[in-house]
Structure formats: structure tokens, C-alpha cells
Structure 1
């Protein structure tokens, strides 16, 4: 094994010292951030699209310092029909309501998995993967389906944000500490042959107590709430409902009919893929994907937008995304010209070698079809507030979509050609596989 040769460093210094580009880059980049300096012109990215869904959701949302992007993308998708039916100018569903129940269910699921794996060595890769981040804010769309089925939704005013829902780090820290402590207790009890069911139930009660202190007590799925509001004409209304009833009456989205499509070039296309041991609700749907080519994903996105439907999607953010300017494009960043840096690995290799995975969920609400009949850019609704991008919207190029996006969600009737694959035996991936990453970027 060879160490770095100091003589080589001296020779390299001499070589680089004669390079004017290196001199300029060194002077500039030691003073300011590369991602703000080494960029192209925004004029190359017109904020105009041939097809945009109507209406788009309002207002632009902000997940703040939390990893709730997947819940914001979901509620931004669902709220449109509610706003239309109730004639609202602006409307939000409660992201915190889903956030509370997701985290509670995740804690319970973690404890159940600890019980299931008690005979494995605590140092095994599976147990360590379970212990790594059991309270992560992030999620997969399958987890959304589980939540919508079990607890449905409520308007934001019924269960509004509080400080901790917008800044969740401390709650997560305390819950993780407790869950790891509980894991040891449960494993020891199982080793002694004790009945751990009442023990686990008491642990879930303690978790619930901590969460209600930080987040407040949410409505129960079958519990009535009263919501008062003004419509777009400033007319007063009052609705008395339950979360489940509210969903059935006002939300036009069949969660059971939704299918997660991925582009994972490591595995064969037109196959099902399953992430083992990944879930939020014990006994809930398994995390399953249909793996298809970028060409198919592109056609499905265009088809949905033309049908006036937004598209939930997952990408590797903030790779090659400029947060303030709202551009998502590899070519926007001039790292090659100034640094000689170029990303040479293909998408499959980036996933294999830990360079890329899905980290953020957003909505596609528009597409621009070029003169060649092909899409060249997309309109993206983010959840980072109006101060980022084009009043909260981003522009994503087709190349970015193909290289750095991994997942879209469509309806089963939109994939008739591939519907027969949904019942085939899936390829199984372990819990720690990149395709099991939870979208949680903030």
C-alpha cells in the first residue's frame, strides 16, 4: 500500500501554477461558493411551457427545516380537487397530520422489526440498518398509501403546523434515543423467553406521549372535527366531518390505484422490484416498484400532464439544482470549464457506488414539447417556499429527468401495457439499497 508521495505534490504544484484557469479558479473559489459562481445564464431556460395543469395548487408551500417533502408533494397533489369542489382560492391539507401518524407508525414498525430479528446478532447489517434512523422524516409513496388508507386527511386549519413539525431535529433525536434503548430491552426480554407484547405496547404509549408534547394531539381517523372557512367569494362555510369522510367526499384520488414506477438501470426493465423490511405501518403495503426505462417514464409524465394531472416524482436533490434560481440541469453548472470536473459514471454506476439515490419528492405540473415532438423541460412545484426558484417553481430539463430522477407515480389504468407485470414475482432488494432511500431533503 503506497502513501502519497510529497515529491509528487511539489511537481503538481509547479504544473498547476502554469495553468491560468487553475489560477483564476483558485482565486475565485476560495472566496465564494462554487455553486453560485460557476453557473450559466438563466435565459437559456424560459419559464414557459406548452402544457400546464389547470389549476395549479395554491399557495406555494414550505416544509421549512423538516424532511416532509414527500408529504408536501402528496398533499399538494391531493388539494387541487378539494379546492375546486369547495371553490377555494387557496387551500392546504395538513402535512403535520400525516407527519404525526407516519412517525408514530414508524416507531411501532421499528419495534416490531426488532422483535422479529431478536435472534440476529446486533451487529448484523439488517439490525444495524434498522437502528440507523428509525424516525426519519422521509418516506416512500407506498408509505403515503398506507397513511391515506388508515388515517386519511384533514385541512391544515384542523391540525396546523407547530414549531417542531417545521423543525423536527430535536424530536427525532429524542425518539431515536428512546427507540434504541427500547430495542435492547426487547431483545433481552425475547432472549429470556418473556412476553414482549405488553412491553412493546407500553413503549409505543411512551413514544405517543412524547410526540403529543412536541406536536399536539391529532384528530383520530373516525373522530369528528368542525372546519370553518371562506370560499373564493368570501362566503362563510362550516363543515363537520371525520378525516376518513372528508377524504371520501372531497379528495379525488384513489390511493389503491396508484403505482410507483422507478428507473433503476442496475436491474432489468419491465420487472417488479421490492425493498425488503422497509415500511411505516406494520402489516401495510409492501414497498414495490415497477422498473421501466426512461423513455416510458417520460411518456407517462407527458400523458398525465396532458390529461391535466400532476405527477409525484422523486429525484436526487440538490444534485445540479440551483435553489435560488430554480434551475435543475447538469449543463447549468460550469464545473468542467473551471475545474476540469466532469461526472463520468453512468446512472447505474452512480447508484451502485453510492453516488446517487432518491432524496427529494416534488410535483411536475407542466411540460414543454419541442418542435421535434419531444419534451425538453418540465415545470416543477417544490415545497421550499416562494423565495426559491420562480416563486416556488423550478425548471427541470429532460436530461436532468433522465439522469437524476428515479421515481414517478401514475394510475394503474395509465400503464395497461405493463399491468400484467404488477402480479409477477419481484426482485428483492435489501433495506439498505439506494432504492429504499426515503425522500427527506429540506
Structure 2
């Protein structure tokens, strides 16, 4: 039976607090400094020097500013290092993040409207319909969504499509787009309810996409179709490539077979046995593009595969919960940075599986692993290229402890050539379909 909080309960809690010997000291510290500053263990910083036995890349970091494009920045950061290595472009060279941002929002809008039509016969109270309408589109994404975009649209250098006010701060555009898409959902659901023909419905949807395209051009500019790429390399030699398309540019300058790269996740929950593959219903961006597919392996295997790729001279895109035990200013991620449980004299412990099952943690940020420190054959800390500019961490680079990797890294993208024969066979199996709200469906 429900039991309300009584005055007697409160009196007992107050008396118990009086018996806490350090209560006043802790109260003064927390009220003045805040919880994390009071719980910080600065000795942990000494274990996280930004020096690594294997260091693949030190290119200048990029800055996603006030947008949720970390997944795009991380992917393009892995690719620009290939352009730098193959063509000796200056270290300041970047691929255009806004170019893919444009096409991602356009494709996500079509993906949303397509799902609206698929669920139009369901009531608004249906959980899937409600989930769909909560966020028609957003900035975040996953690796397979990047691959789908690049396969269709290619990439361009930043000189061919530069940042705008709306790409640097996307909140106003997201609000406008989501309002427009919900408005469109009302119309499409009514057309289905009224029994209109597929031809009429598709024509109306096409009109809606025309409006979305116009909104995106106003916010980001018109996406380039052909451009001239000219630069002086690091030896001051001049190069020019005229009338090149985005797909031609990707093939020539990046030259990566995206089909070779697979998403490896670590989700140690009971509903996702290891060595099996998973997909997420209603998750994606490009209709008809590369579907989301995750291959679930133990965390130690994710580390082994990451090291193999680094040893081959290639950085690793990864997804994690960056808000957990993280010091943004100093660029540190470690499970010993803060001891809030000790400060509050309580037990907050949860396993990785429990954090996923109970909503305590999900993948919310993508970055790039560019190095690792290996001591006695074991990784102790990892070098991470972030996309928050060079004013945080060590010129924008973070240090991630191996313990933090274990607890809060959920996904790495690995060339399948580093998998065993058995793993490659398992990875191609038909995936189990997860619910749209599954933790593995969150967007970085």
C-alpha cells in the first residue's frame, strides 16, 4: 500500500543527519563549490598524462560549436587524416561538415515522413507513433547513417561549402524543421484516414520535401554539385582539380570502401547475447540506404580490435556516454575523477548492463581514438580527438582511462579485415530487430 511521508519520518531523517560526523563540513563544501568540485579526486589526474606509446594522429581538432554533429565531425576527422596522408594537404584542411549536415536533415525528413505513412493506421496513443512524433529529426546519428549519406552524396572540402550561423548553432533550425514535419504528419495521416490514393499522397509528400529543401537552403546554403579544389600542400606546391563532383572527390581523395567498416557494440544486457547482430526499428536517415547493423562483442574484444586498427596506422570512430565521469575543461575521462557516492555517503553502484537497462547511460557522443598507451601488453589509457575546439583538454584532445573505456564506450567502427573468420561469419547474419527506444538506438 502507498505510504506518505509523515512528520515522524522527517524528524527521524533529521536526527539521522545530525549523527553524521562530517555533515556540516560536507554541506558547506557542496553549497559553496557544487557536487562535482567537492567530489573531485585530483590525484586521478596524475595517471592521465597525455603521452602515449602508440600515437597515430595529432591533427588540429575541429569544433562542432553549438550543434549535435559529433558523429559527422568524428567520421570526417578520420577521413581527413587519409587525405592528409595521401595528398600532403596542410594539417588545417577539413572536410565540409555542413555539406553532409544538409543532406542528413533532408534525408531524415523523408525518413520521418515515410514512417508517418507506415504508421498512419495506428492511433496517436500507439507507443511507436508517439516515439516517432517526439523528435521528427535531430542532429545526431550513427556510423551506418554516415555511410549511407556518403555513398549517396560524397563529401566536399570545407572550402566548397562553409559553415553558417544555423550549422554552428542548430537549435532554431531544429525547432522550425520539427514544427514543419509535425504539421506535415497531420496532413499525411488525414489523407490516409480519408482513403486518398497513393498517387495523391506521394504527390503531397513530394511537395512537403520541396518545402524542406527550401528551408535547408535558406539555413545552410545550396549544396554544391561541382567545384574546384585547389590548395598548396605542406611543401608549398600548388594543386588544382576543376569541376569535380562530391562523389568523385570522395573516391579520389578519401578512397575508403565504407562497406569494409562495421559497427561493433558492447551491450552486456540479457536481451542482447554476444556474437549476434542487431538493428533498430525506425532508425536511419536514407530511405533505401545502408541499414543500421550492430555486432555485439565483449568489451575486451572491442579494445583488441581498436588496438589492431591503430597499429595499422588508422584512427577509430567510437561512440560513448561522454557526460559520465568526464572533465571537459581538462579533457579527462576516468571512473576515478569524482567520488559522489563517498561524498554523499551512499551507494550509487551499477553495472554497465544495469545502467543501460535503467536509463542511467546511453551512447550520446562520437569521437575518434587516435592513440593508446600500452604497458606490459595491456592498454592503460587512450588518446581521443574530440570536436569541441582546441580550448579544452590538450589542444582539444582528451585522455580516456582504460577503466572508462570499459564502462562507457558502447561502439567502435572497425575494418572487418581485423575480425576473425568466425566473427566475419557472425557479423553477416540477419540482425535481430530491436524496439525504436532501445538504448542501442540512441544517436551520438
Equivalent-residue separation in structure 2 for 1:252 and 1:329 (angstroms) = 35
Deviates more, 1:115-124 or 1:229-238: 229-238
Give the CA deviation at 1:3: 1.4
Q: After superposition, give the CA deviation of every residue in 1:361-407 in whole Å (9 maximum; x if it has no partner).
A: 00001111112x11111001100111111111111111111111100
State which of 380, 384, 391 in structure 2 corresponds to 1:387: 391
Equivalent-residue separation in structure 2 for 1:384 and 1:45 (angstroms) = 19
Asked if 1:49 is matched to 2:52, the reply is yes
Deviates more, 1:1-10 or 1:120-129: 1-10
Asked if 1:165 is matched to 2:170, the reply is no
User: Where does the alignment leave 5 or more consecutive residues of structure 2 unmatched?
Assistant: none
Equivalent-residue separation in structure 2 for 1:317 and 1:103 (angstroms) = 24
Asked if 1:145 is matched to 2:150, the reply is no
CA separation of 1:256 and 1:25: change in aligned 2, threshold 3 A? same
> How many residues of Structure 1 are paired with residues of Structure 2 in the alignment?
433
Q: After superposition, give the CA deviation of every residue in 1:15-66 in whole Å (9 maximum; x if it has no partner).
A: 223324322221121122322342122222121111111x43x321110100
Contact 1:274–1:288 (8 Å) recurs in 2 = yes
Equivalent-residue separation in structure 1 for 2:88 and 2:416 (angstroms) = 29
Q: Give the equivalent residue in structure 2 for 1:228.
A: 230
Contact 2:89–2:231 (8 Å) recurs in 1 = no
Contact 2:309–2:415 (8 Å) recurs in 1 = no
Question: Superposition pairs for residues 14-53 of structure 1, below 5 Å?
Answer: 14-41=15-42, 42-53=45-56
Q: Give the equivalent residue in structure 1 for 2:187.
A: 185
Equivalent-residue separation in structure 2 for 1:191 and 1:81 (angstroms) = 51
Q: Give the equivalent residue in structure 1 for 2:440.
A: 435
Equivalent-residue separation in structure 1 for 2:264 and 2:301 (angstroms) = 10
Q: After superposition, give the CA deviation of every residue in 1:142-195 in whole Å (9 maximum; x if it has no partner).
A: 100101100010001110111110100000001100100100100110122222
Question: Superposition pairs for residues 53-132 of structure 1, below 5 Å?
Answer: 53=56, 55-56=57-58, 58-90=59-91, 91-132=93-134
Normalised by the length of structure 2, the TM-score is 0.95
Deviates more, 1:423-432 or 1:302-311: 423-432
Question: Alignment partner of 1:146: what SS?
Answer: helix
Deviates more, 1:202-211 or 1:38-47: 38-47
Q: After superposition, give the CA deviation of every residue in 1:304-357 in whole Å (9 maximum; x if it has no partner).
A: 111111111000121111101111111111213322244322111111111111
Equivalent-residue separation in structure 2 for 1:344 and 1:408 (angstroms) = 25
Question: Alignment partner of 1:108: what SS?
Answer: helix
Q: Give the equivalent residue in structure 1 for 2:9.
A: 8
Contact 1:21–1:338 (8 Å) recurs in 2 = no
Segments of 4+ in structure 1 off by > 6 A?
A: none
Question: Alignment partner of 2:370: what SS?
Answer: strand
Equivalent-residue separation in structure 1 for 2:390 and 2:351 (angstroms) = 34
Asked if 1:409 is matched to 2:404, the reply is no
Deviates more, 1:168-177 or 1:331-340: 331-340
Normalised by the length of structure 1, the TM-score is 0.95
Equivalent-residue separation in structure 1 for 2:249 and 2:298 (angstroms) = 37
State which of 236, 242, 245 in structure 1 corresponds to 2:245: 242
Give the CA deviation at 1:108: 0.7
Equivalent-residue separation in structure 2 for 1:212 and 1:93 (angstroms) = 19
